Chains A and B, each alone.
Chain A
C-alpha cells in the first residue's frame, strides 16, 4: 500500500513539470508557425515597400516654346527635317525659364533633369500635331532617372543619388512649385524592356508569359488528362505500366533545371528550333507540369464513386463510354483545379527558361509564338541583377504583378473547388 501511495506521490510531484513541458511544447509549435508566417509577412512587406514606387513615374510639367528657329524646323510633316531637328533645345530653354536662378551656363546640369527620351516624345507630339509649331504649350515629360530616384528615395541610404547639390536644390524648388510631380506609371504596363529604367515596362514579359502559358496549357492539359485516364481506367497491372507510374512520380520531383537541359539538348540542338521563343519555353514547361497534372487528374478520377461506373456499365455502355460520358465530366472540376495549380507553378518557373535562351534582352513586345520573348519571372531576374538601383523598384513592381497573377490563379482554383466540389 505504501508503495502505491509513493507512486502516486511521484506522479503528482512530477505533474507540474510535465504540464510545464506540455506548455513549452505547445509554445514551440506556435513559435514555428509564427516564424513561418512572419517570414511570409516580411517577404511581402519588403517587396511591396521596395516596389510600390515602381508603379509611379516622375514627370516635369513646363511651358515649352516650340520655336521653329530654335529647333531648325519649319515643316513638321517633312520626315527628313524631323530627323535633323533639335528637340532638346526647347526643353532645356523651357526648364531654364522654369528654374529660378538658372542661366545659360547651367545648361548641362539642367539637361540632366530631363529624360533622354523626352525629346523623342516631343518629336512624336509635333509629328502628330504639326500646327503646334511656333506656339507655347504646357507639356509634361518624363524626368531623368536620376531625378526619379531622388524624388522617390531621397532619404534612403541604399540608393545613391547621382544629382549634384545644385540639381538637388532645383528639384526641391520645382517640387514645391508642383512642376515635378509623380503620377501613375503607365509606361510600366505599356512598354517592353529597356536599358533606361524610366522607359522599362513589363508588357513584353506579360505577353511572352501569356503565349508560353497558352502553349503549355493546350499541350499539358489534354495530354495529362489522357494519361491519367489511361493509367486509372485502362492500364493493365503489369511491369510496363508500373514503370510508367514510377517515371511519373520521379519526374514530379526532378529539379526544374534538368528540364532546361532537356529542352536545350532536344528542342534546340536536335530539332534546330529557335532559341528564346515561347514555343520552346511552352514545350519545356509542358514536360515539367505534366506529372503534376497527371497526378492531380488521377486523384480526381479516383474520387468518382464506382457506383457511377457500375450504373453506366449496367445499361450497356462500353468501357470508353463509361469513362468519357460519365467519369470524365464528374472528375473535370478536380482536374481543372489541379491544372490551374500546375499552370501557376509553370508561370513562376524561371530556371529551365534561362537555359533555352529566354534571358535575352528583348525590347519588342512579341507578336507570335516564334518571336523572341521573355517571361515575367525572367524579367524579374534580369532586373534584379541590373547594376542600376532604379531597376530594383521595377523588379519589385513586376514581382507584385506576378504574385497578383499567381494569387488570382490560386484563388480561382480554390473557388472552383468550393463551387464544383461534390460529395457522394
Chain B
C-alpha cells in the first residue's frame, strides 16, 4: 500500500478505536450507575484508545517510509556481482538510477547488462515486499496497540490525565522540531563541507581570490583547473548588500520617522500598508523587475553618459534589493521609535526644541541601538537574498568595487552549482554546501547580534 493510503487507514483505525473505547467506557459505567462513576468522561477513554492506536503506527510508518529507499539501495548494491560493484559514489548513483530506470520501465531490460536487469527485478521485488511488510506492520501495530488500549479501560483509570500528558508531549515534540531543523541544517551542510575541505584546502577557500568552479570531468577534457577562492563571492555579496543598504536605510528610516512623528492617523493608515506591500511582493518579481527593466535602464543611462556599464550590474541588483528591504527597516525603526517614551519627547519640546531637533537630538540617539539591530537584520536578509541576484547580478566572479560591473554572490553560486545535472561527489557540488555553511554562519552571527541588541534595548524602558 502507498504510504499516503496507509496514513488514511491509520486514521480510520484511530477513529474506530475512539468509538470502541467510548462504547466500552460507557458499558463499563452502566452497571455502576452511569458515567459519573467513571474517573474521566467517556470522551477521554475514547481519545486514549485512539492515541494508543494511532501514535505508534504513525511512528513506524514515518520511519519506514523515510528509510526504506536507502535500505533497499544498500541491499541492491550489496547483491551486485563483484565486478559491477561501484568504486565511487558517483558511479554508484549512476548505476542506481540505471537500475531504477529499468525497474520503472523507462529503459527496456534488453538494453542493459544481465546483472543490471536482474538487479532491477530484485529492486521491484524488494519494493513490493517492503510495501507489503510496511502495510502489515503498520496495520498490526495499530490494531494491537489500539486493542491493548481498549482492553485496559477501567472505571478507576484516569484517562484524562493520560491523554493530556500525551498531548503535552506531542506539543513539546512540535516545538522541538525547531531544534531538529537547526540540527538538520547544520548536519546537512557540515558533512558535505568537511568532504569539500578534504578536496580543497581550507586556506585556499578562505583566502583564495579566484573563483571558477568548472573542473574537468574526464582527464583528457580541456577545462579550467577549478579554483575555489571565496573572496570574490563575498566581496560581490557585500557590494550588493552595501548598495541595498544605501537605498534602504535612509529611505526606510526617514519614512518611519515621518510616519511615527509627523503623519496624521489617516495618512499613516494608508501609507503603512502600502509600504508593507513592498515586503509582500515575491522576490522573483523583484528579480524580474531588476533584470528586465532596471538593469537595461542603468546600462543605457551609463552609456548615454559615456560610462561603460555591463548589462547585469551590481547596481541594478543592489538597488532593487534596497527597495525590497525598505519595509523591514521602516517597520523595525517604527517599532523602536514608538517604544521611546513620550516623556522624553514632551521634555524636549517643553524646552523649546522643534520637532526635528527633538527627533535628531533626543529620540534618535535613544532609539539608535534598536535601529542598529533592525539594520543588522536587514543586512542579514540582503546577504541571504537569492532570486534578485540570481536574475540580475550575473555569474562572473569579478573582484571589483565598481557597482556598474557584473559581480556574483554566494547565493547565486549555490543556485548555479546545485541546479541542473549534478555530479555527485565533485568538488563543484560540495563547494555549494561549503558556501551554504559560510552563508549560514555569517547570517547566524548577524542575527544573533541583532536579536541581542534589539532585546537588550527593549528592556531599557520596560
Contact = CB atoms under 8 A, between A and B. Distances in A.
Given A36-B251, A354-B415, A403 B443 contact: no
A255 B380 CA distance: 8
Interface string B161-203: 1001001101110111111011011011101100000000000
Nearest to A348: B282
Contact of B355 (A22, A40, A271, A399): A22
Interface string B1-43: 0001000000000000000000000000000000000000000
Contact of A32 (B255, B291, B439): B255
A330 interface: no
A65 interface: no
Interface in B128-184: 160-161, 164, 167-168, 170-172, 174-179, 181-182, 184
B285 interface: yes
B387 interface: yes
A184 to B, nearest CB: 23
B101 interface: no
B444 interface: yes
Most buried by A among B164, B171, B359: B171
Nearest to A368: B4
B283 A348 contact: yes
Contacts of B391: 381, 384-385
Given A29-B255, A30-B258, A261-B433, A250 B179 contact: no
B411 A351 contact: yes
Contacts of A403: 281, 285
Given A36-B278, A46-B293, A247-B182, A230 B175 contact: yes
Contacts of A350: 282-284, 386-387
Interface stretch (B52-60, B65-73, B334-342): B65-73
Contacts of A402: 282, 285
Interface string A348-370: 11110011010100000000010
A223 interface: yes
Contacts of A272: 69-70, 73
Interface in A31-50: 31-33, 35-37, 39-40, 43, 46-47, 50
A380 B288 contact: yes
Given A47-B289, A410-B280, A21 B356 contact: yes
Nearest to B185: A262
Contacts, number: 272
B418 A320 contact: no
A356 B146 CA distance: 38
Interface string B351-362: 010111101100
B194 to A, nearest CB: 13
A351 B178 contact: no
Contact of B287 (A36, A40, A319, A381): A381
Contacts of A37: 271, 274-275
A249 B381 CA distance: 14
B284 A377 contact: yes
B317 interface: no
Interface string A258-277: 11111011100011110000
Contacts of A290: 177-178, 181
B292 interface: yes
B175 A355 contact: no
Interface in A368-424: 369, 377-378, 380-381, 384-385, 392, 395-396, 399, 402-403, 406, 410, 414
Nearest to B65: A271
B443 A253 contact: yes
A31 to B, nearest CB: 7
B262 A29 contact: yes
Contacts of B189: 258, 261, 265
Given A36-B275, A36-B326, A348-B281, A251 B289 contact: no
A47 B285 contact: yes
Interface residues of A, number: 91
A81 interface: no
Contacts of B278: 36, 39-40
B355 to A, nearest CB: 6
Contact of B356 (A25, A47, A260, A348): A25
A18 to B, nearest CB: 5
Contact of A29 (B187, B254, B354): B254
A246 to B, nearest CB: 8
A226 B171 contact: yes
Interface in B430-462: 432-433, 436, 439-440, 443-444, 447-448, 450-451
B281 A32 contact: no
Contact of B67 (A50, A266, A271, A414): A271
Contacts of B385: 255
A256 interface: yes
Nearest to A224: B174
Most buried by B among A259, A350, A414: A350
Given A19-B354, A348-B284, A380-B285, A227 B443 contact: no
A229 B288 contact: no
B119 interface: no
B184 A255 contact: no
Cβ-closest 4 pairs across A and B: A255-B384, A29-B258, A348-B282, A272-B69
6 contacts: A21-B356, A32-B255, A36-B323, A271-B66, A350-B282, A395-B288
Given A226-B175, A251-B182, A261-B185, 14 more contacts: A25-B359, A25-B360, A29-B258, A32-B252, A35-B251, A253-B443, A254-B185, A257-B436, A261-B188, A265-B189, A265-B191, A318-B160, A359-B420, A384-B287
